[in-house]
Structure 1
Amino acid sequence: MPPFHNLDDNPTLALQRDFQLMEHLDHLGFDEAWIGEHHSGGLEIIASPELFIAEAAARTKRIRFGTGVVSMPFHHPFMIAERIIQLDHQLRGRLMFGAGAGSLATDVYSLGLEQTEIRAKTDEALDLVLRLMKGEVVSKTTDQYVLREARAQLRPFTRPHPELTIASTGTPSGPRAAGKYNGGLLTLGIAAKPGTDFLGDTWRHWSEACAEYGNTPDRSRWRIAGPVHIAETREQARKDVHYGIRDWMKYLRLSPAFKAFAPDIGEKTPDEMIDAFLETGTAVIGTPDDLIAHIEKLWERSGGFGCWLDLTPNWADFAQKKRSYELIANHVVPHFQEMNAGRQQSFDWAEGKREELYAARVEGVNREIAKWERKSAQ
């Protein structure tokens, strides 16, 4: 979750709802939540995923948290390493370290960086952070920062470091970094350009980089994210989404990473925006069965992946958003984790034995009745 919030939301209360949502997801049994870093545009208001995660982890019991992601060119590598190591200890292994270049062009511009250099800076910073986490003493001078015999005071709680995942938003740099540093991959599905084999290309770049650096790509470490809202019926889901679809679509078109995908909303009604968005094939606004079909389609197109993530757009109000996750937990998760396979097999077996066992039961009851009738007659 970035997360997104409408421009007229009270930001203080919005953050509190985000924490409440983490507690709700933990209660429902969701596996993990990823918190983004953003600094402009108005809708994504969490500037430090580490600060948010520290509070959210204290409120929850088992759900894991990932930085989704730390924008590497925005920070001194030494400070990134120090913060992630400390947070790993605070969470006692529930932390995942997500890294990337930063997807918002306005963030890059505000910090005086150039789009043409942020990916190289990400690679450079990630190398230094991982070396520091492994206990190396690092000296490095760049045009952006200096490290002089820098060393982390602590080793991570998780050895050699928290699970590493690299963001992938449409260029080869993300999957290539995942291959180079033996990380997992977090692919933003809405970054797919129409008419391209985005998922196939992502896997190819990842595999090629792994081969180049002596690592092995692991589909179980591939996460694919996309926006979803679920209700009991498609009609109700569409009605719920009227709440926030316009602000979200307007915001999406601000980002060069997503502008090519986001339909031009112009004077469109909410339902017309929903139709235009669904035509891209990157989102679900419907029922649990619609989400199941969508994930299965992604599975076929990608060749398989380990985790599907909801991008958590602020499409519906808070009560409807929580209900969406309840429906996912109750109907979608059991389908893919085959939670009820044994129950269904047992039911089918019992149904198949029904006539045979009913007849045996009737015979047993009749014999018992007859036995007691004979005793009574004596």
Structure 2
Amino acid sequence: MMSTKLRYGAFCGPHHALNENPTLCLQRDLELAQHLEYLGFDELWYGEHHSAGWELIASPEVMIAAAAERTTRIKLGSAVSSVPYHHPLMLAERFSQLDHMTRGRVMLGMGPGSLASDAKMMGIEVSKQRDMMDEAIDVIVRLMRGETVTAKTDWFTLDNARIQMTPYSRPSIDMIAASTISPTGARASGRNGIGMLSFGATSSGAFDALAANWGICEDIARDHGKTVDRANWRLVAPMHIAETREQARAEVKHGIEGWADYLRNVAALPIVPGGGDVIDALLDSSMAVIGTPDDAVAQIERLTAQSGGFGTLILFAHNWADWPQTKRSYEMFARYVMPKVDTLPDNRAISEDECRTARPELAGQIGAAIQARIQRHVDEKGAKNIAPQLIDALPEKQS
């Protein structure tokens, strides 16, 4: 298990089917922040998308601001801000403002943009998105650390540029680069000494690349005189938890087929295994947990062994089940998975075991103490008003 206490969060793309009211869906995504905070989760990430119908959030910043007003402790981030779609100074300025508004609870996740259809509408060549991401991240990190930056690329210019307000968080806000299978995100993280968020960490290609990508991140960090920490590495994994595997399977039938169709045929993301029953495909590939808290613990152990250790498990907010059942899944995770994964000594279990072992001796001592008090009263006042069974239990009556 983990050598340090694991942290927990959720990634809210979001993924909402077309048959739902989008206004209510967005409200539910804000309610998710409140629910997760109540359960003790550490962070929530909102995505940015502009097409394809399911992923409704165009501005993670707007969601973060609204969620921050509904919560007090949980950290809130963008996963990710699609940096090729924004001038770097404007993105840095907005997140610096949010850092003050949230009193240091904001996190900036950066990536190239996951939907090619978004880039197409803006005339951005998909082949250039990752180069644009690298160029943007390299200056955004410097801006967020309070530097004055001059830079010129073929799509943005910075002329003696700086953010107006130094971030509330010092030396800067939490920042991460998105990673899947390719080394792009790992190289950006290492080059800038920031965290990494591995999407689809349980899908076959990304799972196989976990350790390699972290190794790349560390190597590139050394090359640039930077350091990176596994505590700032986040892995995204889809789970739905219920009392039994059969119940979990029944609950996710509400929306899992539509979700898989969206990712396979609309978003065209290589996440969901193809062919056959969706649930069977996810389980057979070990990509998802659709089962019990013990199944969730086993998946975390699997990710830990494969990666070599990471800092935060991020649950994929997939909406496979209806909303009440989805909230219940998060609750069961918090109640039964988090405590079992935590490797700190469980003093409750130690205490229970010690008391169980010592019970015969302690029970005898308690009985003797009670009998001594009864005997003292009888010696002083006689047996009047004392229940007969208590008198019969006295040692002199048993001799």
Q: TM-score range by the shorter chain?
A: over 0.9
Instruction: Select which of 111, 123, 141 maps to 1:112.
Output: 123
Displacement of 1:190 in angstroms is 4.8
Q: More displaced, 189-198 or 33-42? A: 189-198
SS for the counterpart of 2:318 is coil
Report the counterpart of residue 91 of structure 1 in structure 2.
102
TM-score (norm 2): 0.88
Question: Are 2:180 and 2:206, in contact at CA under 8 Å, matched by a contact in 1?
Answer: no
Report the counterpart of residue 180 of structure 1 in structure 2.
191
Report the counterpart of residue 354 of structure 2 in structure 1.
349
- Residues 87 and 127 (structure 1), Cα distance of their counterparts in 2 relative to 1, 3 Å cut: same
RMSD: 2.0
SS for the counterpart of 1:45 is coil
Report the counterpart of residue 302 of structure 1 in structure 2.
307
Give 2:317's aligned amino acid: T
Question: Are 1:24 and 1:322, in contact at CA under 8 Å, matched by a contact in 2?
Answer: yes
Report the counterpart of residue 240 of structure 1 in structure 2.
251
Whether 1:367 and 2:372 are equivalent positions in the alignment is yes
Question: Are 1:169 and 1:191, in contact at CA under 8 Å, matched by a contact in 2?
Answer: no
Question: Are 2:218 and 2:227, in contact at CA under 8 Å, matched by a contact in 1?
Answer: yes
Larger radius of gyration: 2
Displacement of 1:114 in angstroms is 2.2
- Residues 195 and 29 (structure 1), Cα distance of their counterparts in 2 relative to 1, 3 Å cut: closer
Instruction: Select which of 216, 231, 237 maps to 1:220.
Output: 231
Whether 1:146 and 2:151 are equivalent positions in the alignment is no
Instruction: Select which of 283, 291, 294 maps to 1:286.
Output: 291
Report the counterpart of residue 68 of structure 2 in structure 1.
57
- Looking at structure 1, the residues matched to 371 and 141 of structure 2 have their Cα atoms a distance apart, in angstroms, of 76
Summarize deviations over 1:2-29 as a string: whole Å, max 9, x none: 1110111111110011111111111111
Report the counterpart of residue 327 of structure 2 in structure 1.
322
Question: Are 1:141 and 1:147, in contact at CA under 8 Å, matched by a contact in 2?
Answer: yes
Report the counterpart of residue 335 of structure 1 in structure 2.
340
Question: Are 2:113 and 2:119, in contact at CA under 8 Å, matched by a contact in 1?
Answer: yes
Report the counterpart of residue 274 of structure 2 in structure 1.
264
Displacement of 1:32 in angstroms is 0.4
Instruction: Select which of 50, 74, 92 maps to 1:81.
Output: 92
Report the counterpart of residue 203 of structure 1 in structure 2.
214
Q: More displaced, 333-342 or 118-127? A: 333-342
- Looking at structure 1, the residues matched to 268 and 262 of structure 2 have their Cα atoms a distance apart, in angstroms, of 12
Displacement of 1:207 in angstroms is 1.6
Question: Are 2:200 and 2:206, in contact at CA under 8 Å, matched by a contact in 1?
Answer: no
- Looking at structure 2, the residues matched to 376 and 327 of structure 1 have their Cα atoms a distance apart, in angstroms, of 57
Give 2:273's aligned amino acid: P
Give 1:264's aligned amino acid: G
Displacement of 1:134 in angstroms is 3.1
Count of residue pairs brought into register by the alignment: 372
Report the counterpart of residue 68 of structure 1 in structure 2.
79
- Residues 339 and 257 (structure 1), Cα distance of their counterparts in 2 relative to 1, 3 Å cut: farther
Report the counterpart of residue 395 of structure 2 in structure 1.
none
- Looking at structure 2, the residues matched to 301 and 238 of structure 1 have their Cα atoms a distance apart, in angstroms, of 26
Q: More displaced, 202-211 or 67-76? A: 202-211
Give 2:177's aligned amino acid: I
Q: More displaced, 46-55 or 337-346? A: 337-346
Identity of aligned residues (%): 45
SS for the counterpart of 2:158 is strand
Whether 1:7 and 2:12 are equivalent positions in the alignment is no
Displacement of 1:238 in angstroms is 0.8
Summarize deviations over 1:268-290 as a string: whole Å, max 9, x none: 5xxx2100121221211111111
- Looking at structure 2, the residues matched to 36 and 256 of structure 1 have their Cα atoms a distance apart, in angstroms, of 14
Report the counterpart of residue 388 of structure 2 in structure 1.
none
Instruction: Tell me which of the two structures has the higher relative contact order, counting C-alpha pairs closer than 8 angstroms and 6 or more residues apart.
Output: 2
Give 1:262's aligned amino acid: V
Question: Are 1:35 and 1:68, in contact at CA under 8 Å, matched by a contact in 2?
Answer: yes
Report the counterpart of residue 276 of structure 1 in structure 2.
281
Give 1:280's aligned amino acid: S
Q: More displaced, 336-345 or 49-58? A: 336-345
Question: Are 1:179 and 1:217, in contact at CA under 8 Å, matched by a contact in 2?
Answer: yes
Give 1:113's aligned amino acid: I
Report the counterpart of residue 166 of structure 1 in structure 2.
177
Q: More displaced, 307-316 or 100-109? A: 100-109
Whether 1:42 and 2:53 are equivalent positions in the alignment is yes
Question: Are 1:334 and 1:340, in contact at CA under 8 Å, matched by a contact in 2?
Answer: no
SS for the counterpart of 1:353 is helix
TM-score (norm 1): 0.93
- Looking at structure 1, the residues matched to 141 and 228 of structure 2 have their Cα atoms a distance apart, in angstroms, of 19
Q: More displaced, 59-68 or 193-202? A: 193-202
Unpaired runs of 5+ residues, structure 2, are 1-11, 384-399
Summarize deviations over 1:189-248 as a string: whole Å, max 9, x none: 357445972212122111211221122331111110011111111111111111111111
Question: Are 2:202 and 2:286, in contact at CA under 8 Å, matched by a contact in 1?
Answer: no
Give 2:326's aligned amino acid: K
